[in-house]
């Protein structure tokens, strides 16, 4: 009996001193396990007088129960302490500054489009729209580009079934507008265009253009030059160098291309010219009474020049690490 008491006392003390669940479990095995101190005592039973055996057994079992209880108590104390320390470690510091919400920004091409639109709308141009899937008539025929005309080679075309195609330029919008509206006309038609060009840093099968068209009485090449030069000075810089280079488009006569001097290099940004009389006649506008000019400008080129980007494809890859910089 003394053995039992001293074991229980010793175990009690040890249990109350444990600081973690692992060592508590260790004690449980040490005292209550199969080879534990109390279990061992039961082996003494055989050495006892049979009359003493029941009482002894009872005492050992009581001792076991006591220890089990005190282990359980200590276990809940330790668990509670563990929980408290976790809670205090994981407290939120509500006074920390927030992570913030990153604001989106307009796609660089959209930014350029908005600027172009704002300049021309101040001059009375309104925005017009047309389909990206076009027919041969609007994309070529009505623009004075007959079938088998070598000028078709200038624009490698994606042909669809049933005679339709992806528009190769925004010029078909000129035709659609003039079919529906009478002069005087001032329209600006931004949009996507498609050509099966080679793909390289400055060419993509899809790119963005903006078409401008002005038709009225007494419009001449000086108006074209004046407006386009004013645009370029607005868009780039007041002192930028501009040159008009003679060129050819079937739907304008005379035709020109406009280059700007950027970082010592001439960069072509648009094609333009006086609307060809055949085009006006195709849409039943009297070419004796009305004249006009048109231009087609590459947005992507403008964006490359403005932002100093030398690979056009970056604009179309939707990589936010790139697009977020503008």
Residues at the site binding ligand PHE, with contacts judged by CB under 6 A: 169, 171, 249, 252, 271-273, 294-296
Rounded to a whole number of angstroms, the minimum distance from the CB of residue 231 to ligand PHE is 14
Q: Helices 21-32 and 53-89, interaxial angle, to 10°?
A: 170
Task: Between 41 and 260, name the residue whose CB sits nearer to ligand PHE.
Answer: 260
Tokens of 70: 């005190």
Rounded to a whole number of angstroms, the minimum distance from the CB of residue 174 to ligand PHE is 7
Task: Between 31 and 293, name the residue whose CB sits nearer to ligand PHE.
Answer: 293
Which residues, 6+ apart, have CB-to-CB distance to 45 below 8 Å? 53, 56, 57
d(CA 141, CA 122) in angstroms, rounded, equals: 32
Rounded to a whole number of angstroms, the minimum distance from the CB of residue 94 to ligand PHE is 59
Q: State which residue has the least CB distance to ligand PHE.
A: 296
**Dihedrals φ, ψ of 97, to 5°?**
-65, 150
d(CA 287, CA 278) in angstroms, rounded, equals: 8
Taking CA atoms, 321 is separated from 105, 300, 311, 312, 325, in Å, by 12, 19, 15, 16, 7
Task: Between 28 and 169, name the residue whose CB sits nearer to ligand PHE.
Answer: 169
To 10 degrees, the CA torsion angle through 156, 160, 165, 166? -80
Rounded to a whole number of angstroms, the minimum distance from the CB of residue 303 to ligand PHE is 17
Rounded to a whole number of angstroms, the minimum distance from the CB of residue 213 to ligand PHE is 8
Task: Between 74 and 155, name the residue whose CB sits nearer to ligand PHE.
Answer: 155
Positive or negative, the CA dihedral 67, 70, 76, 80 is negative
Rounded to a whole number of angstroms, the minimum distance from the CB of residue 209 to ligand PHE is 6
Task: Between 64 and 169, name the residue whose CB sits nearer to ligand PHE.
Answer: 169
d(CA 268, CA 83) in angstroms, rounded, equals: 71
Task: Between 221 and 326, name the residue whose CB sits nearer to ligand PHE.
Answer: 221
């Amino acid at each position: 009996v003394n053995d039992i008491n001293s074991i229980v006392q010793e175990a009690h003390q040890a249990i109350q001193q444990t600081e973690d669940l692992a060592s508590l479990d260790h004690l449980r095995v040490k005292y209550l396990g199969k080879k534990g101190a109390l279990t061992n005592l039961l082996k003494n039973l055989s050495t006892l007088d049979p009359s003493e055996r029941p009482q002894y057994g009872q005492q050992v079992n009581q001792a076991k129960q006591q220890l089990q209880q005190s282990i359980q108590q200590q276990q809940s104390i330790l668990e509670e302490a563990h929980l408290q320390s976790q809670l205090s470690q994981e407290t939120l510091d509500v006074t920390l500054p927030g992570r913030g919400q990153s604001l989106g920004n307009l796609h660089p091409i959209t930014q350029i489009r908005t600027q172009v639109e704002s300049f021309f709308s101040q001059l009375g141009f309104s925005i017009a729209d047309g389909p990206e899937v076009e027919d041969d008539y609007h994309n070529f025929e009505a623009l004075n580009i007959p079938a088998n005309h070598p000028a078709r080679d200038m624009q490698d075309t994606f042909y669809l079934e049933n005679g339709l195609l992806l528009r190769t330029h925004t010029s078909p919008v000129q035709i659609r507008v003039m079919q529906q509206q009478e002069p005087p006309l001032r329209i600006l038609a931004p949009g996507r265009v498609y050509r099966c060009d080679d793909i390289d840093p400055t060419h993509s099968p899809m790119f963005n253009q903006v078409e401008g068209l002005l038709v009225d009485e007494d419009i001449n090449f000086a108006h074209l030059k004046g407006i386009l030069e004013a645009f370029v000075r607005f868009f780039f810089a007041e002192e930028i160098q501009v040159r008009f280079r003679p060129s050819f488009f079937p739907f304008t006569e005379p035709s020109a291309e406009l280059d700007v001097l950027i970082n010592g290099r001439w960069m072509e940004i648009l094609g333009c010219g006086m609307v060809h009389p055949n085009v006006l006649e195709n849409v039943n506008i009297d070419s004796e009474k009305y004249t006009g000019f048109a231009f087609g400008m590459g947005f992507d080129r403008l964006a490359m020049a403005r932002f100093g980007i030398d690979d056009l494809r970056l604009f179309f890859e939707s990589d936010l690490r790139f697009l977020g910089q503008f």
